[in-house]
């Protein structure tokens, strides 16, 4: 079994003063810890970046497109670029995962209610063993719900998805590192 940690849209343009995200510093620290564990098991660490059209906050090559500087990237980490909420849509992500025989995916990043949710649901229907670190994703407050409410709601929904491969497995980053990522 090969693990893959997928870190979605942790880009500077989504974490500015005008776009605060819930527990951003804590999330970066937890993702760095998860990445160290996955790398130690010879798993894949995949950074997914959203490409906006020219003029957008995430336009390739702009400061907003860059991965947050606090995230520790290694030369063996993989980059995938996308143009939709779904990390599988018109990207080579699925082929990459299958080529590396990745069977267990840990879906993390920003934003819980958009790209993380869409990608996690697609991963489950594609037959991957899909994990949602409960504190491994973030979003911003929305007009109708706070970020913590959105995160809690999605964790609840993901744990009860009806798909051929079953629901996502939802547990904290610490419990994942002490459990599934500590197995030999």
Q: If we measure between CA atoms, which residue out of 14, 114, 94 comes closest to residue 46?
A: 94
User: Is 115 a catalytic site residue?
Assistant: yes
In angstroms, the CA 152 to CA 67 distance is: 25
Round to whole Å and give the CA distance between 140 and 147: 5
Q: Which of 85, 110, 115, 173 is catalytic?
A: 115
Give me the count of residues in the chain: 184
Please give the helix or strand (H or E) that residue 152 lies within, else none. Answer: helix 147-158
- In whole angstroms, give the CA distance from residue 66 to residue 68: 6
The pairing of beta strand 78-82 with beta strand 129-133: unpaired
Residue listed under structure tokens 């790398």 = 39
Would you state the structure tokens that stand for residue 145, as one six-digit string?
A: 């719900």
Rounded to an integer, what is the distance from CA 31 to the centroid of its chain?
9
Max distance between CA atoms of the chain, in angstroms, equals 47
* Residues designated as active site: 115
């Amino acid at each position: 079994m090969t693990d893959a940690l997928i870190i979605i849209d942790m880009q500077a343009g989504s974490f500015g003063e005008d776009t605060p995200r819930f527990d951003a510093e804590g999330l970066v620290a937890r993702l760095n810890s998860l990445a160290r564990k996955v790398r130690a098991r010879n798993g894949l660490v995949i950074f997914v970046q959203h490409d906006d059209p020219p003029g957008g906050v995430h336009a390739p090559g702009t400061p907003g497109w860059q991965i947050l500087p606090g995230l520790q990237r290694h030369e063996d980490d993989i980059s995938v670029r996308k143009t939709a909420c779904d990390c599988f849509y018109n990207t080579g992500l699925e082929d990459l995962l299958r080529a590396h025989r990745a069977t267990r995916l840990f879906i993390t990043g920003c934003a819980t209610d958009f790209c993380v949710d869409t990608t996690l649901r697609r991963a489950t229907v594609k037959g991957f063993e899909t994990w949602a670190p409960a504190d491994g994703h973030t979003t911003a407050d929305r007009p109708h719900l706070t970020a913590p409410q959105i995160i809690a709601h999605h964790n609840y929904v993901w744990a009860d998805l009806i798909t051929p491969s079953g629901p996502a497995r939802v547990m904290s980053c610490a419990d994942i590192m002490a459990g599934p990522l500590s197995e030999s």
